Amino acid sequence: MQYRCVASSPEGLVQQVAVSYLRHGYWYYVTGRIPSHKDPAVVDRKILDKYQVAISERERCRRKRRGLANLQYIRYGSWFIILATDGHHPVKQQERSQIKDCRRVPIKFEGYSISYRRSGVTPKGGGPPKWHACVRIDQETYRDLKAFFLERACHRSIENLARDFAKVPYARYAPVRRQLLALLRQVNTARARTGFQPVPTSALRLRRKIVKPFAGVEPAVWSDRTMAKAT
């Protein structure tokens, strides 16, 4: 059994965390960076073995029934995140001061803010509220984008502004789309005050591209425990 943990891109890591991990209850997290003098692959193996991350789905189910937490681990470059479900696990004790809950404190990574939130839709029949992953541009990065575009709004052509919007790198999740549309409205409000033509909505790239989180990266990591089982 192989455990793939090295993301091929920031978008791949964000997609894997938001779409695959948060929706399955991996809400508690701790992040870190691997020092430049250490081999990332060696650190990957140490974390997977120390915290028993690379286990089968059957074993994950058994741990859940026993009230134990399961973990996931993913890395891009030198940055990594360990995510955990409800339940007891040594990592929660060892990293007690550092571990956070993404339902309260969003994950910050490469200008993204990733959280798990209640849906605004009330279920039919009065059932429990639904939750969903929320991926948006973090506030500091969004403020920088806003300052950049508003400074150029009345000094650049529609074509130049359209190219600038096209260069915004963040994957177009629904909250990101709303942020970009709000930014476009502010740009057009500023342009209208000086008599310039508005930048059309078609200038925005609003469709999210699905990526392969682990495509084209180094081989999957084998934990020592998994290798022992295989032999």
pLDDT tens across 20-56, in order?
999 999 999 999 999 999 999 999 999 999 998 999 9
pLDDT band for position 96 (cuts 50, 70, 90): confident
Q: Which secondary-structure segment (H or E) carries 100?
A: strand 100-101
* Residue 98 and residue 20 share a domain: yes
- The closest alpha carbon to 217, from 75, 18, 73, belongs to 75
Contact 117, 131 (CB under 8 A): yes
72 falls within a domain? yes
This prediction has a pTM of: 0.86
56 falls within a domain? yes
pLDDT band for position 216 (cuts 50, 70, 90): low
* Residue 216 and residue 106 share a domain: yes
- The closest alpha carbon to 74, from 171, 8, 25, belongs to 8
* Residue 60 and residue 14 share a domain: yes
Q: In Å, how far from its chain's centre is CA 225?
A: 28
* Residue 178 and residue 94 share a domain: no
pLDDT at 111 over 50: yes
Contact 171, 15 (CB under 8 A): yes
* Residue 67 and residue 40 share a domain: yes
132 falls within a domain? no
pLDDT band for position 222 (cuts 50, 70, 90): very low
Contact 32, 46 (CB under 8 A): no
Domain residues for 189?
139-169+172-203
* Residue 180 and residue 147 share a domain: yes
The DSSP symbol for 22 reads G
1 falls within a domain? no
Count structural domains, the chain: 2
* Residue 93 and residue 73 share a domain: yes
5 falls within a domain? no
43 falls within a domain? yes
* Residue 143 and residue 96 share a domain: no
* Residue 198 and residue 225 share a domain: no
* Residue 84 and residue 26 share a domain: yes
120 falls within a domain? no
* Residue 18 and residue 51 share a domain: yes
* Residue 92 and residue 161 share a domain: no
130 falls within a domain? no
